[in-house]
Chain A
Amino acid sequence: MTSSFKQMAVEDFRLTSEPYYLPIADEVQLFETAYDQHIPVLLKGPTGCGKTRFVEYMSWRLHGHLNRSGNEGVPLITVACHEDLTASDLVGRYLLEGEETRWIDGPITRAVKVGAICYLDEIVEARKDTTVLIHPLTDYRRLLPIDKRGELLEAAEGFLLVLSYNPGYQSALKDLKHSTRQRFIAIEFNYPPRDQETEIIRIEAGCSVEIAGELAKLAEKVRNLREHGLAEGVSTRLLVYAGKLIANGISPRRACQTAVVWGLTDDSEVQQSIEEVVTSIFPE
């Protein structure tokens, strides 16, 4: 019996085939240049608009850079940030092993060592004191101090720090410190325009172009409700889910209900409004 899962060290993860990504503007070129020039990148944009996919795509695409050979991309280490993320979660910590302590590298340390793209997703979720530790890594120094071991790591050539950040839930509590934010170039993401989104949905979900078009139209309408009962517009990701459901036999109204309406909000009046938009677009 063979197990179906794969296990590997984080720094060993690289993409072996080209992920689907449809460039909207010049973001690919910008990112490539930034990578070559060691400029850290901040990706801004709402949930599910393709930031993570973009980073994956870029990590694959960049395989030609730095004289890497083969079809494999740059290693990509992704850290999902959360409230309790501490500096040692990122850098590393001592663990007890038998009667010894053993040092374990954290993801950022590993990325620095192997020259990976280190992608800190939803950085505002992390505590502010945590984010400060990445500062020396982001300027010309490209250094990572590890105080507990009294070491200083200089980043390997292919290392790049990428943050993502969702300005949508901007509250005073969850905003990036200026000292952090001014160390990055920012690439703004938004939901793709209707035609492109149609294309994305069609390819990702494998549904007909008509369905994809209607879903993109729905998305456009629902996004009009942002700040009016909805904190965030519907993500392309959810639309792809809906498209997948429809492509596999679920009725469009039902699919949109589960993937779009209920996924977006719990407010029953808003739900109902969106459902009415759904029923306006999709016939029974």
Chain B
Amino acid sequence: MSAADTLADQYAAALAQRGVVLRDDFIEGARALEDVLDPADLERWASVAADLAAQSLRSWEAAQEFFKASPQVATVLPFELLMRWARVAEHLCESSPLIAAAYIRATPAALEQIPPDPDFDIGIQGEFLTEQTISKTDLDRWAEAGERLHQGNWKSIALSVLFFELSPKLLASLSMEQIDDLIDVLVILAERSYQLAQTCLEAAPDLFAALDFNDREPFLQFAAALSRASWADTRLYFERGPDLVVRIEAEQRGAFLTLASRVVQSSGRQGFPHFMETANALGMIPPSEHAALLGLAGTLARRSPVAAMAFLRSAPIVLQRITADQLAQWVEPGSRLLFDDGNIEGADAYFQLQSTRAEQTLTSLSARVELQAIHGLLRMYAKALTGASIAIRSSEDLVEKGIGWVTESMATTEGTAIFLPPFVGVYPEQQSNFQCYKVFTTHQTGRIEFGSFGYRYGIEGAYAPVSVTEREAALAPRERDALTEMERYYDLFPQRTLIASLFTIAEDTRVDAQVSREYGGIRVWLRRLQSREADRRPDVMDQGLRNAFVENLLRASLGRRDAIRWPAPLMPTLETALSALAVVEQPGATVEDAAEVAAALYDIASILPNTRRNYDDEEWEQPPADMGSEGQMPSGMGQDQREMPEGEGDEEFEAPQQPEFRGDFKPELVQLLSRLRDQQAGDDGEGMSLSREQVMDMLEKSSEVSLSEQAQGEVAASMGAFLTNLEKEAQAAAQAQKKKQQQQDGEGDADDGEENNADLPNEVTWSYYDEWDFRASDYRPRWCRVGERLGDEGTLEYYQDTLQRHHGLVVETRRQFELMRPESFRRIKKLEDGEELDLDRAIEFIVDKRAGVGPLAQIYWRRNKVERDVAVAFLMDMSASTDEEVEKPRVNERPDGNFTGDPRNYFQWLAERRSRLIAEAPKRIVDLEKESLVLIVEALEAIGDSYGIYGFSGYGRDNVEYHVIKDLGEKFGDKVRRRIDKIQPIRSTRMGPAIRHTIAKLEEYDAKVKILILVSDGRPQDHGYGRDRTEKEYAVHDTHQALVEAKRAGIMPFLITVDKEGHDYMKEMCSDVGYEVVDDIEQLPRRLTSLYKVIAAD
């Protein structure tokens, strides 16, 4: 009998009490251990094992695992440590047998991961220990870690069990210290949600395995910080964190995560979104820059981690505009705010790019020129050059329009607008990039100025004879008439792409030549850009012969004949072509010349085979510099009889890529568009209207349009969409034209101008305004978007009712105001110099003088013109709070309060009383505002001041609603009366942008005295109008700043509020601006008129 069996017998009875299986497992374990342990040790083991099994009712589960695991553990650990392990298990079992079981079960696998402890190495402990030896402390710590998760309830037990189950994997990537950190995080999470803790724990093994060794520590550090500041985000962090972290350059991850931890400590909930955005932002920047960025961020973080994080977040945007070397220069003003001025909020705003200073610094550093910044300038420039009103737009818009132009980054025009790239950053200096824009614009205006779109079929040019009739004769008769002259011309040539490319080159050459001739100042830059483009052309020797031919022409057209490479045997052909191209460079060449030149070039190109590599590299030569520089048309058309090389594998001809400044050139579409526009505007000169089919047919031929599409069906579908877009485009233009015309007509007789635009839709026009951030002491650039729209119209009844109801008051105010109307001339007497002698005075004077009294010779009079020239804008608060009812006014109890009459009439009386009560619905603040308006309008009409009435409300910074009840220049009429009816409470009160918009309106208006009166019912407040919902200071400061701006613009602001609590914040908001708190709300109408009299008195 083996020792194991003996022991089994010994403990069998005790173990059997806990279940038969347990005894079997014990025997199995003991037998396995026999080979490893000596009998004494085995006995000790058996006793410990039995104790474990007997420890508690359910400890058998732990014991069972113990029996199973022991043989494996014993091979790794010396017996002393085995015992120690057993004791730890026993200890765990005291709190939960399940945890103990998990611990024991996980041990063998875990032991493989726990690295040998250097303190416990062979030198001291002798040969008992193998290399696999584990430090006792580690096993203990591990157990302790798991136990820390145990909080006495079953969920915590499950968590702890899970931990031990996952431990082998965790230990593979984390050190014991790191495990402790992880447990810290889990403990905090478990306090909130076991579920959350569990999810995180489940994610942990894979997560840490994926992370680089050095990243694990900082990752945990941030997790710890996050769990404390914003525990709910931890799960997301465990899910997405590793992906985010790897975007950062490996050596900088630690620094970044440390920074993130600090941020999360100071900014709480916002911490994690910031972390995500920042990591994403860094991902957009080449990793080589990360060290420098995090270095700068590290400096900032010493004072404000938030600013440092914001800096990293803004970095991609900033780096788009300035170089990495300039970054420090951009940081400089922000860090001065931070360190010298101690303005942490200002610095935060600066680095979030929410301050004007940040924007300005960026602009001054940036070499890149943004279209937005010079948009107005270029518009006027284009207007000056062409004399036509030409819109300047970003080329992104044109592609979006879907009317046939497809390339984004280039300049182009469709006849009424010039499309330019949204920014130019080609050169390292701002000035040069601006010059690029100028060249872009000038070339495009050149197309308009020099008539690129005005091609007329069959018209003689200045140099080239017309050949279209001969060409036409050679073709089959047309199926239908061409829609445009340009189309008719293109249709003469079987190869549409080829003729379009050649015409583009010829015409662009002509335009560039004209531009250089007309605009000497632009010549230098035009050359520079042409040259730059020529250097970027694709290799000509790599192309088919015909493509190479066209490519060479394009180079010649860019003024770079030196870049031409052409097979020597074919040099005469090229010479003919270059001479033809030079024709359009002569002064006075017209678009018809260009068309003829293109036709001649076509004749040459079309017989060239489009094959590659017919010639050896040596045969490609640079032609002599002056070859074909004299303009001359080839003799005869299409009769170039020269021997052409035979080629195999003819390739399809591809239009060459256009140089950036020239961009797409689509004269046939421009002509079509302009024809559609005319048609929409109702004056189609040719008396023939275009059918959809015709247009479709023509569009299908326009080669570039179908370029991006493959399937036939798709082409048809996209054509349809495209046509709809074209029509829309033409319609919009025609409408604008009509509207303009109407306005012009209306100017003559302004009286009926009011009804003219009755059917125009209520359009919203958007304007952008800065907002004042008092913490940063700087504006947030273009922060608020104000949408101006006409007020809705109600009925006239309201206005008339109000007039009737307040008849007495209206009459009285009118009279008072009429008295204010000044005489237009006032005679000023007793002047020493003036217009005329005052004869009476003169005589008096002489008399006095004779008498020796000698008064002053004040004997002249003068007429002084006194003109009242006042413009006032009323800005009404239309916030939801104006919906509040004013306390029910004391109902004047009528004597019939109690029924006293004939009982038969009782019901009649009752009905009357009820209806009266309904009619007198309680008044709301907004009703009083409206009544005041009615009154003030009457008064102002009497005095003749110009006035505007506007209402504002909205929600959030990008949707400030601005309702025009009556514009400053608008005549008062029924429309205005109806709009007053429709004033109603809407949403919030963002006063700042509304005031700024009103300032802008008043500034445009011509008047000597300008007044802005704001009527409100409470403090300014809106979503995001302040750091958080409860903050009121921000809004008050912004409003104050807006009022200061008004004063600076020479406008007198005045605030009226019906908020009884108004005094406290009004004092701060208005400081040196006049205001009044109307205590008795019902007095508002009366008060407003009397206040106006005071304010607007000279």
Asked if residues A276 and B377 are in contact (CB atoms below 8 Å), the reply is: yes
Contact check: which of B384, B442, B522 meets A273 at CB < 8 Å? B384
Asked if residues B521 and A279 are in contact (CB atoms below 8 Å), the reply is: yes
Alpha-carbon distance A222/B846, docked complex (angstroms): 60
Cβ of A9 under 8 Å from chain B: no
B520 cross-chain contacts in A, Cβ below 8 A: 214, 281-283
Contact with B along A63-95 (1 / 0, CB 8 A): 000000000000000000001001010000110
Asked if residues B377 and A269 are in contact (CB atoms below 8 Å), the reply is: yes
Asked if residues B438 and A276 are in contact (CB atoms below 8 Å), the reply is: yes
Alpha-carbon distance A160/B168, docked complex (angstroms): 115
Which residues of chain B in 374-402 are interfacial with respect to chain A, using CB atoms and an 8 Å cutoff? 376-378, 380-381, 383-387, 389
Cβ of B806 under 8 Å from chain A: no
Cβ of B523 under 8 Å from chain A: yes
Cβ of B899 under 8 Å from chain A: no
Alpha-carbon distance A224/B835, docked complex (angstroms): 43
Asked if residues A280 and B522 are in contact (CB atoms below 8 Å), the reply is: yes
Contact check: which of A277, A282, A284 meets B381 at CB < 8 Å? A277
A274 cross-chain contacts in B, Cβ below 8 A: 380, 384
Given contacts A270-B380, A280-B519, contact A228 B389 (CB under 8 A): yes
A214 cross-chain contacts in B, Cβ below 8 A: 520
Alpha-carbon distance A101/B860, docked complex (angstroms): 13
Cβ of B836 under 8 Å from chain A: yes
Query: What is the CB-to-nearest-CB distance from A181 to chain B, in angstroms, rounded to a whole number?
Result: 16
Asked if residues A280 and B380 are in contact (CB atoms below 8 Å), the reply is: no
Contact with B along A39-62 (1 / 0, CB 8 A): 000000000000000000000000
Asked if residues A273 and B380 are in contact (CB atoms below 8 Å), the reply is: yes
Cβ of A272 under 8 Å from chain B: yes
Contact with A along B99-130 (1 / 0, CB 8 A): 00000000000000000000000000000000
Asked if residues B384 and A101 are in contact (CB atoms below 8 Å), the reply is: no
Asked if residues B384 and A222 are in contact (CB atoms below 8 Å), the reply is: yes
Which residues of chain A in 89-122 are interfacial with respect to chain B, using CB atoms and an 8 Å cutoff? 93-94, 96, 99, 101
Asked if residues A280 and B383 are in contact (CB atoms below 8 Å), the reply is: no
Cβ of A229 under 8 Å from chain B: yes
Contact with B along A139-165 (1 / 0, CB 8 A): 000000000000000000000000000
Cβ of A225 under 8 Å from chain B: yes
B384 cross-chain contacts in A, Cβ below 8 A: 221-222, 224-225, 273-274, 277
Alpha-carbon distance A200/B377, docked complex (angstroms): 30
Alpha-carbon distance A240/B92, docked complex (angstroms): 104
Asked if residues B837 and A94 are in contact (CB atoms below 8 Å), the reply is: yes
Cβ of B518 under 8 Å from chain A: yes
Kindly name the residue among A99, A127, A273 whose own CB sees the greatest number of chain B CB atoms within 10 A. A273
A88 cross-chain contacts in B, Cβ below 8 A: 835-836
Asked if residues B521 and A278 are in contact (CB atoms below 8 Å), the reply is: yes
Which residues of chain A in 213-230 are interfacial with respect to chain B, using CB atoms and an 8 Å cutoff? 214, 217, 221-222, 224-225, 228-229
Alpha-carbon distance A269/B378, docked complex (angstroms): 10
Given contacts A88-B836, A283-B520, contact A99 B381 (CB under 8 A): no
Contact check: which of A86, A99, A127, A280 meets B521 at CB < 8 Å? A280
Chain A interface residue count, Cβ-Cβ cutoff 8 angstroms: 32
Which residues of chain B in 828-867 are interfacial with respect to chain A, using CB atoms and an 8 Å cutoff? 835-837, 842, 846, 857, 859, 863, 865
The residue of chain A having its C-beta at the shortest distance from the C-beta of B845 within the complex is A96
Secondary structure at chain B's binding surface: helix, strand, loop or mixed?
A: helix
Cβ of B524 under 8 Å from chain A: yes
Given contacts A96-B842, A101-B837, A281-B519, contact A273 B381 (CB under 8 A): yes
Asked if residues A277 and B837 are in contact (CB atoms below 8 Å), the reply is: no
B836 cross-chain contacts in A, Cβ below 8 A: 88, 93
Which residues of chain B in 489-527 are interfacial with respect to chain A, using CB atoms and an 8 Å cutoff? 518-524
Alpha-carbon distance A274/B380, docked complex (angstroms): 8
The residue of chain A having its C-beta at the shortest distance from the C-beta of B519 within the complex is A280
Asked if residues A99 and B846 are in contact (CB atoms below 8 Å), the reply is: yes
Given contacts A99-B846, A101-B837, A228-B389, contact A283 B381 (CB under 8 A): no
Alpha-carbon distance A182/B104, docked complex (angstroms): 116
A217 cross-chain contacts in B, Cβ below 8 A: 518
Asked if residues B519 and A224 are in contact (CB atoms below 8 Å), the reply is: no
Contacts between chains A and B (CB distance < 8 A), count: 75
B438 cross-chain contacts in A, Cβ below 8 A: 276, 280
A225 cross-chain contacts in B, Cβ below 8 A: 380, 383-384
Alpha-carbon distance A274/B378, docked complex (angstroms): 10
The residue of chain A having its C-beta at the shortest distance from the C-beta of B524 within the complex is A283
Asked if residues B376 and A224 are in contact (CB atoms below 8 Å), the reply is: no
B378 cross-chain contacts in A, Cβ below 8 A: 273
Given contacts A283-B523, A284-B521, contact A229 B380 (CB under 8 A): yes
The residue of chain B having its C-beta at the shortest distance from the C-beta of A222 within the complex is B384
Alpha-carbon distance A237/B50, docked complex (angstroms): 118
Kindly name the residue among B380, B438, B857 whose own CB sees the greatest number of chain A CB atoms within 10 A. B380
Alpha-carbon distance A225/B376, docked complex (angstroms): 13
The residue of chain B having its C-beta at the shortest distance from the C-beta of A224 within the complex is B387
A93 cross-chain contacts in B, Cβ below 8 A: 836-837
Alpha-carbon distance A178/B138, docked complex (angstroms): 108
A253 cross-chain contacts in B, Cβ below 8 A: 521
Query: What is the CB-to-nearest-CB distance from B807 to chain A, in angstroms, rounded to a whole number?
Result: 34
A283 cross-chain contacts in B, Cβ below 8 A: 520-521, 523-524
Alpha-carbon distance A99/B842, docked complex (angstroms): 10
Alpha-carbon distance A251/B794, docked complex (angstroms): 64
A280 cross-chain contacts in B, Cβ below 8 A: 381, 385, 438, 442, 519, 521-522
Alpha-carbon distance A228/B391, docked complex (angstroms): 13
B380 cross-chain contacts in A, Cβ below 8 A: 225, 228-229, 269-270, 273-274
Contact check: which of B376, B523, B865 meets A269 at CB < 8 Å? B376
Contact check: which of B385, B835, B863 meets A277 at CB < 8 Å? B385
Alpha-carbon distance A279/B437, docked complex (angstroms): 14
Alpha-carbon distance A94/B381, docked complex (angstroms): 56
Alpha-carbon distance A281/B524, docked complex (angstroms): 11
Kindly name the residue among A278, A280, A281 whose own CB sees the greatest number of chain B CB atoms within 10 A. A280
B386 cross-chain contacts in A, Cβ below 8 A: 224
Alpha-carbon distance A274/B859, docked complex (angstroms): 52
B863 cross-chain contacts in A, Cβ below 8 A: 86
Kindly name the residue among A93, A270, A276 whose own CB sees the greatest number of chain B CB atoms within 10 A. A276
A276 cross-chain contacts in B, Cβ below 8 A: 377, 381, 438
Alpha-carbon distance A278/B385, docked complex (angstroms): 11
Alpha-carbon distance A119/B384, docked complex (angstroms): 34
B381 cross-chain contacts in A, Cβ below 8 A: 273, 276-277, 280
A284 cross-chain contacts in B, Cβ below 8 A: 521, 524
B387 cross-chain contacts in A, Cβ below 8 A: 224
A101 cross-chain contacts in B, Cβ below 8 A: 837, 842
Query: What is the CB-to-nearest-CB distance from B425 to chain A, in angstroms, rounded to a whole number?
Result: 20
B376 cross-chain contacts in A, Cβ below 8 A: 269, 273
Alpha-carbon distance A229/B380, docked complex (angstroms): 8
Alpha-carbon distance A21/B386, docked complex (angstroms): 29
Which residues of chain A in 255-284 are interfacial with respect to chain B, using CB atoms and an 8 Å cutoff? 269-270, 272-274, 276-284
A272 cross-chain contacts in B, Cβ below 8 A: 377
The residue of chain B having its C-beta at the shortest distance from the C-beta of A282 within the complex is B521
Contact with A along B306-324 (1 / 0, CB 8 A): 0000000000000000000
Alpha-carbon distance A274/B376, docked complex (angstroms): 12
Which residues of chain B in 861-910 are interfacial with respect to chain A, using CB atoms and an 8 Å cutoff? 863, 865
Query: What is the CB-to-nearest-CB distance from B811 to chain A, in angstroms, rounded to a whole number?
Result: 30
The residue of chain A having its C-beta at the shortest distance from the C-beta of B859 within the complex is A96
A sample of 12 more A-B contacts (CB under 8 A), given A221-B385, A273-B384, A281-B520, is A93-B837, A96-B837, A96-B857, A224-B384, A224-B386, A272-B377, A273-B381, A276-B377, A276-B381, A277-B381, A277-B385, A283-B524
The 10 closest A-B pairs by CB, nearest first: A273-B380, A224-B387, A280-B519, A221-B384, A283-B520, A279-B521, A280-B522, A280-B521, A224-B384, A283-B521
Q: Would you mind naming 24 contact pairs between A and B with Cβ atoms under 8 Å apart?
A: A86-B863, A88-B836, A96-B837, A99-B846, A101-B837, A214-B520, A217-B518, A221-B385, A224-B383, A224-B384, A225-B383, A228-B380, A228-B389, A269-B380, A273-B377, A273-B378, A273-B384, A278-B521, A279-B522, A280-B385, A280-B438, A280-B442, A281-B520, A281-B521
